Structure 1
Amino acid sequence: MNKELNTTPAASHIVMPKLPIKGFSKLSKLEKIDFLVENYFSNTETARVMLKKFWHSDENIQKTIDEFSENTLTNFILPLGVVPNVMINGNLYCVPMVIEESSVVAASAKAANFWLTRGGFKAEIIGMKKVGQVHFIWNGETGKLQDLFLSKKAELLESVAAITANMEKRGGGILDLRLVDRTKDEPGYYQLLGEFDTRDAMGANFINSILETLGHKWKEMVMNAESFSDAEKELQVIMAILSNYTPECRVRASVECRVQDLEEAGLGMSASEFAAKFTRAVRISRIDVTRATTHNKGIFNGIDAVVLATGNDFRAVEACGHAYAARDGQYRGLSEASVADGIFKFSLEIPLAIGSVGGLTSLHPMAKLSLDMLGRPGASELMQIVATIGLAQNFGAVRSLVTSGIQKGHMKMHLMNILNHLEANSAEVERAKVHFENEVISFKSVREYIASLRNYV
């Protein structure tokens, strides 16, 4: 650990540039680094070394990574771990996860092992439909616009035939196109609402290209409508864009077993008491928004990690998931649990618009490796894997909460982070692990214990 580098110096130590820089994006990577270290870092040489230290040794790989984003300087490293023994629909997976919190991977792995001997996870696709909208303003009689749309719908769809041809060959394409009247919410506001099947691709570029073409064509049709007055021929396209809210692109993951089969060494209570506490904890997440937020964050701990590992967009997945959690007007926990007739059931139903081809899934070398590890799944299979890990992580978290408490396991995992921060050597690490097996772990207590070892030596 380099003690000289301080990436968050006190404000008084920051040397701010005298003038804003123009044309920064046109500078080479080395020129960008030169500008930044001279103007934004207190220790210029250490910053320069650290920014270059994490470049990939393979120039071709580094070039690929640089081109993923804009104004790239270096690589930000996150660990890629795995959860073995994930049984889904009778198939065994080793699932990659990219996340910096070790307790998430550990909890998911523990849950996977727990359910491995209890029938494994079940998963099913509920739908694969994605949507996008052309938002526009038009002032006139709604019935006239509706009549024009119905008469021109086939022509509208034909206008994007060249874009949809390859997707249609794979069994996807445009499923439907509708005119939506939103004038009660905003004067003159309408939408062209498209529904799409993008097969194994996430499909953002495909959908957006179609929508933009439809927007231009629809405006042209309105302008040329013979039955419209000059005023009615005025149409303003506000925007054409896919929606990340995809409630009909949804997957369900679940587990179930007899209540008595929940019995496990170290549970600290009977299986029936555990089942009762567990199901009540999940119900609370569906009642109380304060708990629901943290409950769902735990689900996304698992989901995001697999989404990242496979080169998908975790921001889109999270935005959709949280919107879906509030679909009835109150934000609720996404999972459900019940006990009936002696059977414990736990499930998660969630929208997941992800892909296994295209974008970073085909470009990022580690995303490709992750998908290889999973057996090159199609989008529907990947959705099932991702949802299952979300459920596994949720089971592990809620299990800890209603038994030993979340901090016992979490802080054991956090112990290594503290020891690394204190630059503990291997002997100190091993002794600290033993010492804190049954002790409260905090930064202060670990620091004092390491200091005592060093003073003793």
Structure 2
Amino acid sequence: MAHSTSRIPGFYQLSPADRLAKVIELTGMGETVQAHFADMGNVSPEAADTMIENVIGTLNLPIGVATNLIIDGDEQLVPMATEESSVVAAVCNAARQCRASGGFHTDTSTPVMIAQIQLVEVPNPEFARLKLLEAREQIQRICDATDPVLLQLGGGFRDLEVRVLDDMLVVHLLVDVRDAMGANAVNSMAEAVAPSLAAWSGGKSQLRILSNLADRRLARARATWHLDEIGGEAVRDSMLSAYRFADVDPYRAATHNKGIMNGVSAVVLATGNDTRAVEAGAHAYAARTGQYRSLTHWEVDAEGNLTGTLEMPMPIGLVGGATRSHPTARYCLDILGVENADRLARIVVAVGLAQNFAAMKALATTGIQKGHMALHAKNIALMAGAEGEEVAYIADLLVQQGTVRVDVAQAALEKLRNA
């Protein structure tokens, strides 16, 4: 669709309703579309307008609750926001199958984030590197002075790293951000200390920004699945083969790790955290050996049971951003019952491991499509125009026939209505 113009002076100053009216006017989409966008569900226009720029509406995603999880001995309900069929069901099934062995056991490192300061035009970088390391205490004073509240909460500057890369120096500030995701805190510290670093090194500061490869802020989960719960040695060995495939082939690993992130990102999104930051860190961490590999590791214990582990960066928080401004995110945190970011990170990584188990088991047994398409059949029925009780009827029919396609659904719906 060609628009008459995309130049709308003062658009950002309008209210969400007036912006929407302007877009409808320029696109000619009409009152039905305008009414659809105007219905923002459980987020007020005022709240939405504080989160991003030029707001005209919201996109509501389903929130499902994963059941059956035991995490560090505690029964846990987990809200997940996703548009993809079978994701929530997969976690429920995987969690149920490892309840007999105690569920998921987790661990985390301290919540340390990295801020990077790039120094260029340094005449003698190796010499300057040692000068900066010697200035650690001065650097700490500057950094901690930028966020006294973080200091009071037990966080703050923890350590310094200086790397020589080509003709530049890269300084890492390691900062304990406590219950925050931490981007604002570490960015502020980087900005504050950059002029001093430039003066001490004899160079010039350029980029001053956090790194989303949060490899000092790791979350870990492990679980055991008994042979009788998963269907015996043949299923176990097929799953191990699937894991080895992902660990040596980046083409397989990309889809394998995407499956992990199906679970991880759904919980991160439901709690108002930054899905892009978590995903970027996860995929970079998967390539830390020089080859992109599986984030999970799968083995067999002494009794022949299947054991799985997942370790990955988890830069998430409970303060700041949408975790506080989005009412649904706050209620999801209430469902979780978490009081700190550490517990949330443990839950998220456990869900990621459960998701990976379920995906590998499906691939190793019935194939991924059977379960996925059975759940997807309702979407296809809706796309074909089914309404009310027709949806379940058409979906069941598609699954029974083993053909989940819109054209087949349309034909079945027409036959049903004619009858």
Give 1:140's aligned residue. 123
Residues 1:24 and 2:11 aligned together: yes
Residues 1:333 and 2:291 aligned together: no
Q: Which amino acid aligns with 1:328?
A: T
- Alignment partner for residue 227 of structure 2, among 247, 254, 259? 259
Residues 1:455 and 2:399 aligned together: no
Kept after mapping to 2: 8 A contact 1:15/1:39: no
TM-score by length of 1: 0.86
**In structure 1, C-alpha distance between the alignment counterparts of 2:273 and 2:339, rounded to whole Å:** 14
Q: Which amino acid aligns with 2:35?
A: V
Give 2:205's aligned residue. 237
Kept after mapping to 1: 8 A contact 2:129/2:169: no
Q: Are residues 156 and 336 of structure 1, via their aligned partners in 2, closer, same or farther at CA, if it must alter by over 3 Å?
A: closer
Q: Are residues 454 and 149 of structure 1, via their aligned partners in 2, closer, same or farther at CA, if it must alter by over 3 Å?
A: same
Residues 1:344 and 2:306 aligned together: yes
Kept after mapping to 1: 8 A contact 2:129/2:163: no
Q: Are residues 259 and 130 of structure 1, via their aligned partners in 2, closer, same or farther at CA, if it must alter by over 3 Å?
A: same
Q: Deviations over 1:79-109 (max 9, x none)?
A: 1111012101110110000001131111111
* Map 1:2-151 → 2, pairs under 5 A: 14-18=1-5, 20-41=7-28, 43-52=29-38, 54-56=39-41, 61-142=44-125, 144-146=127-129, 148-151=131-134
Q: Are residues 118 and 451 of structure 1, via their aligned partners in 2, closer, same or farther at CA, if it must alter by over 3 Å?
A: farther
Kept after mapping to 1: 8 A contact 2:117/2:208: yes
Residues 1:279 and 2:266 aligned together: no
Shift of 1:376: 2.4
Q: Which amino acid aligns with 1:287?
A: V
Give 1:169's aligned residue. 152
Shift of 1:307: 0.1
Q: Are residues 16 and 432 of structure 1, via their aligned partners in 2, closer, same or farther at CA, if it must alter by over 3 Å?
A: closer
Q: Which amino acid aligns with 1:16?
A: H
Q: Deviations over 1:167-188 (max 9, x none)?
A: 2222211111233222xx2x3x
Q: Deviations over 1:233-282 (max 9, x none)?
A: 5x32111111000112111111114434433xxxxxxx010111011111
* Map 1:361-372 → 2, pairs under 5 A: 361-372=323-334
**In structure 2, C-alpha distance between the alignment counterparts of 1:166 and 1:23, rounded to whole Å:** 37
**In structure 1, C-alpha distance between the alignment counterparts of 2:375 and 2:139, rounded to whole Å:** 57
Kept after mapping to 1: 8 A contact 2:90/2:359: yes
Q: Which amino acid aligns with 2:372?
A: H
Residues 1:179 and 2:162 aligned together: yes
- Alignment partner for residue 307 of structure 1, among 268, 278, 283? 268
**In structure 2, C-alpha distance between the alignment counterparts of 1:150 and 1:99, rounded to whole Å:** 45
**In structure 2, C-alpha distance between the alignment counterparts of 1:344 and 1:50, rounded to whole Å:** 49
Counterpart secondary structure, 1:332: coil
Give 2:348's aligned residue. 386
- Alignment partner for residue 249 of structure 1, among 206, 217, 222? 217
Deviating more after overlay: 438-447 vs 145-154: 145-154
Q: Are residues 147 and 422 of structure 1, via their aligned partners in 2, closer, same or farther at CA, if it must alter by over 3 Å?
A: closer
Percent sequence identity over aligned pairs: 35
**In structure 1, C-alpha distance between the alignment counterparts of 2:94 and 2:198, rounded to whole Å:** 54
Alignment coverage as a number of residue pairs: 417
* Map 1:171-210 → 2, pairs under 5 A: 171-182=154-165, 185=166, 187=167, 189-210=168-189
- Structure 2 residues not aligned, in runs of 5+: none
**In structure 1, C-alpha distance between the alignment counterparts of 2:100 and 2:256, rounded to whole Å:** 26
TM-score by length of 2: 0.93
Q: Are residues 15 and 246 of structure 1, via their aligned partners in 2, closer, same or farther at CA, if it must alter by over 3 Å?
A: closer
Give 1:11's aligned residue. none
Q: Deviations over 1:317-336 (max 9, x none)?
A: 00010011111111112111
Q: Which amino acid aligns with 2:352?
A: G
Q: Are residues 251 and 24 of structure 1, via their aligned partners in 2, closer, same or farther at CA, if it must alter by over 3 Å?
A: same
**In structure 2, C-alpha distance between the alignment counterparts of 1:57 and 1:339, rounded to whole Å:** 47
**In structure 2, C-alpha distance between the alignment counterparts of 1:374 and 1:343, rounded to whole Å:** 30
**In structure 2, C-alpha distance between the alignment counterparts of 1:260 and 1:57, rounded to whole Å:** 44
Kept after mapping to 2: 8 A contact 1:111/1:392: yes
Residues 1:413 and 2:396 aligned together: no
Kept after mapping to 2: 8 A contact 1:84/1:95: yes
Shift of 1:135: 0.7
Q: Which amino acid aligns with 2:91?
A: S
Q: Which amino acid aligns with 1:25?
A: Y
**In structure 1, C-alpha distance between the alignment counterparts of 2:99 and 2:337, rounded to whole Å:** 19
Shift of 1:44: 2.7
Kept after mapping to 2: 8 A contact 1:127/1:251: no
**In structure 2, C-alpha distance between the alignment counterparts of 1:360 and 1:200, rounded to whole Å:** 14
Give 2:335's aligned residue. 373
Q: Are residues 34 and 15 of structure 1, via their aligned partners in 2, closer, same or farther at CA, if it must alter by over 3 Å?
A: farther
Q: Are residues 95 and 180 of structure 1, via their aligned partners in 2, closer, same or farther at CA, if it must alter by over 3 Å?
A: same
> Rg: which structure is higher?
1
Counterpart secondary structure, 1:102: coil
Shift of 1:291: 0.9
**In structure 2, C-alpha distance between the alignment counterparts of 1:248 and 1:221, rounded to whole Å:** 27
Give 1:354's aligned residue. 316
**In structure 2, C-alpha distance between the alignment counterparts of 1:47 and 1:428, rounded to whole Å:** 26
Q: Are residues 44 and 177 of structure 1, via their aligned partners in 2, closer, same or farther at CA, if it must alter by over 3 Å?
A: same
Counterpart secondary structure, 1:117: helix
- Structure 1 residues not aligned, in runs of 5+: 1-13, 223-232, 264-270
Q: Which amino acid aligns with 2:8?
A: I
Shift of 1:395: 1.1
Q: Are residues 147 and 165 of structure 1, via their aligned partners in 2, closer, same or farther at CA, if it must alter by over 3 Å?
A: same
